[in-house]
Amino acid sequence: MVDVILIIFSAVCMITGLIGCIIPMLPGLPIAYVGLLLLHATDKVQYTTTQLLVWLLIVGVLLVLDYFTPMLGSKYGGGSKWGSWGCIIGTFVGLLFLPWGIIIGPFLGAVIGELLGDREFHQAIRSGIGSLIGFLFGTILKLIVCGYFCYQFIVGVFHM
């Protein structure tokens, strides 16, 4: 009976984790990882310690990277230090206006930063678009890893 409850909670964590990869208010990857830990606590599935630690490392790296991909995208879009700093500040300010602020904040921060750094408007917009692309790239990475976690859940529960 306990295994059934843990599997249900694990499934809820997996679904919530997938949603959280798209909605910035939810920490999707950590929630999905907790789902794997819950599944591991059952008699049905046993992951190795190495698997659990590698997955935890991946979750940690992607959590950190999630804050920097918009800045890297801004830099790739031709942004200067002004745009990078604007992107960082815009990301943190955007956190105050969830959920859309996390998308718009880095974009506007990069644009405003570039404009303050005496860049032309089209260069500032290009830097802002780069930050948006960086954000989308980070989201896709999270979805891929969370999808893999869901795959591990399905294989574990249904022994495929």
What CA–CA distances, in Å, run from 136 to 5, 40, 43, 78, 150?
Answer: 35, 31, 38, 18, 21
* Cβ burial, residue 127 (10 Å; 0-12/13-18/19+): buried
Rounded CA-CA distance 59/123 in Å is: 34
Residue 48: CA atoms inside 13 Å, Cβ hemisphere, count? 3
Among 58-72, 86-100, 106-120, 138-152, whose mean pLDDT is lowest? 86-100
What local confidence, expressed as pLDDT, does residue 65 receive? 87
pLDDT one-digit tens code per residue, 80-106: 888 878 887 887 888 788 778 877 888
* Cβ burial, residue 52 (10 Å; 0-12/13-18/19+): middle
More confident call, 70 vs 108: 108
Confidence tier at 160 by pLDDT (50, 70, 90): low
Percent of the chain residues past pLDDT 70, beyond the cut: 99
What local confidence, expressed as pLDDT, does residue 59 receive? 97
pLDDT one-digit tens code per residue, 15-49: 999 998 887 678 899 999 999 999 999 998 999 99
pLDDT one-digit tens code per residue, 119-133: 889 888 888 888 888
